[in-house]
A = this chain, B = another copy of it.
Amino acid sequence: MRPEDAAAIRNLPLFRDAQEETFGDLVRAGFLQRFPPGVVLINERDPADFLHVVVEGLVEMFATSEGRETTISIVRPVGTFILAAVLNDQVYLQSARTLEKSQVLMIPAEMVRAALGTDPAFARAVVTELARGYRRAIKEVKNQKLRSGAGRLANWLLREDVIQGASGVVNLGFEKRVLSSLLGMTPENLSRAFSTLRARGVAVQGAQVRLTDREGLVRFARPDLLIDSDE
């Protein structure tokens, strides 16, 4: 692992306050692996063997049931996934696949659970991280139950614009097919939702989306801190 990657992981909220020894143990026990795009890293229903940290690339968390599939979230560097399953020693609820060439650190679940007992600061960080994930999931339930497809897209665009520097140009980091699944609609419907937003100053050109009327889009989207904010 490159030193700057180790530093980035160390700086994650989950590891920032951990003791040096705890962090060292976890990273030493972990495997850093490289994967090409499109590789399934974990399968729902499998027992949770590793905590995963996306060091580089892009990972899609998705779930299936009865032949249908939906994207739950996108994990960018440096982010972790499936902490909950690891902690309670359960099966994964979600599958994960790489969307790009990616580098993933895999830490044995047993090590994570052990560290919980020996490092109170780490335990506290785990609590914070879990609570954050829980609240994110509740927000997503609200997003799905209280908004239409176009509303979800509009709010996603506004949020993504801020994340990318509020330049008014959003770069979709992945295929529209994936975005549609993340937003809970079909690809066809996403196209139509984009058309609907054209009147609100949303101009799509390939993977680039220009927001030319932020005010108007906000009026339409009606962002809600209790759904769209990070905290």
Q: A142's closest neighbor in chain B, by CB? A: B63
Docked complex Cα distance between A210 and B96 (Å): 40
Specify the main secondary structure of chain A where it touches its partner: helix
Q: Which residues of B contact A140 (CB under 8 A)?
A: 137, 141
Q: A88's closest neighbor in chain B, by CB? A: B131
Query: Pick the contact of A65 from B120, B128, B227, B231 — CB < 8 Å?
Result: B227
Whether A65 and B224, one on each chain, are in contact in the complex, defined by CB atoms closer than 8 angstroms, is yes
- Shortest distance in angstroms between A84's beta carbon and chain B's nearest beta carbon? 4
**Contact indicator per residue, chain A 61-85, by CB within 8 Å of chain B (1) or not (0):** 0011110101010000000000111
Q: Beyond A94-B138, A134-B134, A138-B93, is A146–B88 a contact (Cβ under 8 Å)? A: no
Question: How many copies, total?
Answer: 2
A139 contacts chain B at the CB level, 8 A cutoff: yes
Whether B93 and A139, one on each chain, are in contact in the complex, defined by CB atoms closer than 8 angstroms, is yes
A32 contacts chain B at the CB level, 8 A cutoff: no
A207 contacts chain B at the CB level, 8 A cutoff: no
Whether A90 and B127, one on each chain, are in contact in the complex, defined by CB atoms closer than 8 angstroms, is no
- Shortest distance in angstroms between A138's beta carbon and chain B's nearest beta carbon? 5
Per the CB 8 Å criterion, the residue count for chain A at the interface is 49
- Shortest distance in angstroms between A80's beta carbon and chain B's nearest beta carbon? 13
Interface positions of A (Cβ within 8 A of B): 44-45, 63-66, 68, 70, 72, 83-85, 87-88, 90-91, 93-94, 116-117, 120, 123-124, 126-128, 130-135, 137-142, 144-147, 184, 222, 224-227, 231
**What are 25 pairs between A and B in contact, CB < 8 Å?**
A63-B142, A64-B146, A65-B142, A65-B147, A65-B226, A68-B146, A72-B142, A83-B131, A84-B131, A84-B134, A84-B135, A88-B128, A88-B132, A88-B231, A93-B138, A93-B226, A94-B138, A123-B127, A126-B127, A130-B134, A133-B134, A137-B138, A137-B140, A141-B144, A144-B184
